[in-house]
Chains A and B, each alone.
Chain A
Amino acid sequence: MASLTSNPSTTGPLANRPPGSLTLRIEPPRTWFELRLQELWKYRELLFFFIWRDVKVRYKQTAIGVSWVIVQPLLTMLVATLFFGRLAKLPSQGLPYSVFCFAALVPWTYFSTALVLATNVMVENQRVITKVYFPRLILPVSASLSGLVDFGIGFVVLLIFTFAHDIRPAWTLALLPLFLLLAVLTVLGVGLWLSALNALYRDVKYLIPFIVQFWTLASPVYYSSSMVPERYRWLYGLNPMAGVIDGFRWALTGTGQAPTTTLLASSLIVCFVLFGGLVFFNYMEGSIADRV
């Protein structure tokens, strides 16, 4: 009979189980790192449902719905163009300042909103976490991905906007998904740290607005990274969003330089943060339902 069971390691009194049933083993956390990507794949439908819920609820809660996604970066761009472009006359790599700024604001808006969502995701889903099992990793992943719907809408507006300014995308546009991927991984990497910390320490949420504000100033959203001296460029690239935004702008408009140094530094740091985030999240995952 044992040959009928799916897991040959369990024989003896349990051998007469119906064929094809799956065996689940529950044990104390052993290793400091178990990724269980297979399980994540098994739960992909739930991941989809969480993203779907986030998007649906977000659009239902605002009176103007989807248009909010467009209005927000558009207004920011107008104000920035007035003050930074017209009054402060910041250089904009030969692009109209409005295009220069808007091309950065679309990925930046995705990043900042997704980061806030990811930070709060464990606390906001506290009830579900303490009442039902699923791989907890789904939550920060869903938070990082749900912002992409907003991003998509913003991106369409951005394309129209650049066309209106007679800027035709070059072949570099094909590389744009890579920069977007880097942005998603940055959100996920940092979000893993912050969401787990937020579940454990109640005051992390007060840090978030500060972190986002600080990060905006340290990223080439309103100014060009070419203003940073060449020899410090790699240091600047330690902010992964510098690589993302520079790359995004370059891919979209084809002007400026390919951000090689910054991009390399950015990718490395993202890998590092993401790996550390996975380890930390995994380490906390075992006790999160007890402590959240």
Chain B
Amino acid sequence: MKQIFGIIVAALILVVLVGQPFYTVDERDQALILQFGKPVGVETEPGLKFKLPFIQKVKTFPKILLEWDGDPGQIPTKDKTFISIDTFARWRIKDPLTFFRAVRTENAAQEKLDAIIDAATYDYITSHNLIEAVRTSNRSMKVEEMISVGLPEKARQQVEISMGREKMTRGILEQIAPKMVQLGIEIEDFRIKRINYVAEVQKKVYERMIAERRQISEKFRSEGQGQSKRIEGERQKELRKIKSEAYRTAEETKGTADAEAIKIYANAFNRDPEFYSFINTLAIYKESLDESTNIIMSTKSEFFKYLKNYKKQ
């Protein structure tokens, strides 16, 4: 009896230890049940699970969102600028059964994603201008007005963005989505992380930026000169205005006074012009005739009339 009990216990222990009828599925995982290597079921709920011992095996896959980092390398854009681009995506194993059949391991999935997404990215980048991948909207930017150097890329001004980064990534996502279904994968999110010029282009861009800044510097300098000249002109003008206005006012004041004086004189002297010239002439005689004056006078003059004749005429 005791021996039989012992045998049963031993058998149970053997089943549990070797056959493993119990297995756990983590919150982050999902499991595929394989019977002799053939998938027969999927367990997506976490917790303690039961399977047939010995015959069935369990293969777990992550259910959690997984990362993918793309590297399509150097790509020429439609406007023939070479850029290096860095992308990433978040994906998950949507259908473990399909995934197991088509891909088997996560590493293999990464490789497949590389191939599919990088190719789609390449297509999109090469068929669009660089600016479409850089900008998202038609938001109008504040730029230095005078920038005109190196304008062959029209992108530099306020261009119409027909696609934009957001639409581009969505387009890439739509393009790859059907291929993902075949792999049992779902792409949650695809984004362009970095876009940079390749080294040679970078150098040229730097040169352009330097030239641009030089131009802006020169603009500032000439603006300074212009403003300074303008202020100088303003000063001259103001100076002339002040002086001439003062002159004008002064002359006008004097003129008015002169006119007034003439009026006053005329009013007075008009009462007896003859008397005026009489006394004024006498005054002039007094002032202008002195010892340097030689005078020849006639005895017929009024003054000397008494010299020859005292009689009243």
- Do A and B assemble together? no
